[in-house]
Structure 1
Amino acid sequence: MLNKSHEQMTCQPIWIDDPSDYKELEILCHKIKPELHLIKIGYYYDHSEPEGRTYDVYQLITKEGTYVLKRTKRKEATIYENFLGACDFAVPHLLGYIEEQDTTWILLEHIQGRDLKQFNESIALACARELTKIFNTYWQEHNFEVTKLDDRFEQYWERINRRRQCLKELPQLKEAYDLFLARQRTCPRTLCNGDLLQCNALYNEDNVTFIDWAFGGIMPYALDIARLIAHGAEVDDPFYMTDDLRMLFLENVYKQLVRTHLSYEQFIWDIKLACLNECIEFIEQELLNPDKERDHYFDYYLKRANLLAKDLLINQYDTR
């Protein structure tokens, strides 16, 4: 259910044996970085879905090193250029990009590591440390229009308001979701990955690298935090995370935010609101389409959404 496109999966690439099959990719690669001497190319394939899924993401073995070539949209290259290249963040380095027939191809540093599906204490601490480095650099608490760096919030705002329509028959969830919507206008903003699932980061030797910035931009800070912690179950789920690990991660994020005036209570309230949005996102299509098949994941997220909604409505935080 949580399979999302990302440039470096922890599965091994499937290597292309016939050089003629990757001639086009070789040409693209040389347009971006002419000095590379290709040895072999492999494409990433996700075996976890029932029918499998092939991505336009390729690992390149060259005499000069190992790289990743990814088909994406221009805005991802822009995120790397305008935001991620400014500091020594825990992200792959962008080596270059090219636009071909309305498609953007980016060439990235290859990062070794495994994803975060089996969350542990070391991962929680590394995630908090590296994520707050990004948050602190672009943190905004007011005057959003004056300090505006991109148009990502407007896209996000439109999307979450459309999502509200799926709750028209669920008054408790709708009331709680309105609390979430009301807070998004005033919630502190920073650079967010926009899709920070546990499969979109890599862990290696106590370091975490955040990958797949196709949905990135300046958005409410709680978005990335909630997306990372909302989908891990203690048992019977490919994404593992205990409540103790969630709290360890949250406490360390809050302690390392150096540019905020948020109280810890407000911080936790913001995260709960964003977690509600996460749960509803993953049942949105079923709620909009009553004839759509509903599986145990639907039940899982609906139950979590209802528990969050009840908590939020009973323990409302005064943001005035």
Structure 2
Amino acid sequence: MPTTPSGPGSPGTLEAAPVDTDLIVIGGGPAGCAAARMAASVGMRSFLIEPDGLCRGLARIPALNNVLGGHTGGPALADSITTELKDTDLCHLELGRRATELRAHEDRVTVTLDTGARLTAPYAIVATGVAPLRPGDVPWITSPPDLTVPPLWEADPTAARGRTLLVLGGDRPIGTFLRAHPTAGTRLLVAYPESDAYKTEEIRDDPRVRLLPVAHLTLRGTTAEIVDRSGARRTVMADAVFLSLGSAPAAPPGDLVHDATGYCRPSAQHPRVLIAGDLRSARYQRVMTAMGSGAEAALHAYYATRDVPRDERP
């Protein structure tokens, strides 16, 4: 197995060690799965590391309107991707395992698993995506520390029928919820900060939605005291409260370069580390863009191993 990097916490060179595979893919969402599938199509062996199940997040999306292939729901698309990848001979799946460290070296990358095992390859694709934010993670919400607020995708459409839901944050699962339950008669009060304004465009004209731009919100059960951007105060009440705060980057520790918001921009990384999917930016978090970026990253690694000049690669 690979040996220890020459310098802790910084890129270096490895002692002589075999390369385990052609490509390591960290993350088993649409981006990581597309990367492994594309790699196999050009004859590259890969290890795909995923702590949960393949496309687990995708399976939670009840309605899709931005993918090709006739899939209108996330569970069906997730099943299709999972089946295809499990039938891909050149991809070795490491499910139930987490990457605890990634190190980039002059001639290869090393990825350490939570078992302590280490894998090496000429390139790694990091497609770990994002993790959901909680009320305590954002400065514009004050709430009791022991208060549990579920994400909107967990809302039971039957229980929500005819009720008013307070939604904290303007992230895109709101549009998904509305498309998935067009006849539920549910009313949404969407409280969001200025930074989420661009995310509310797709729901702005929906009659079931009341937009509440806020500077600060104090949550007490199903009641919220809102301070709007002009400083005016008001109280809103709902039957239940759900989250749509968005997500924060969930990159593994190691030799990754993060921007001020925690995302890992592809152009800033070590040449042997490629970023795909939602980890790239908050602006391009879509199933189709994730899959495209994963496939493109795999081709980048393929051409690089064949010494195709960078300016001649796709």
What is the TM-score with the length of structure 2 in the denominator?
Answer: 0.28
Q: TM-score, normalised by structure 1?
A: 0.27
Instruction: Pick the structure with more strand per residue.
Output: 2
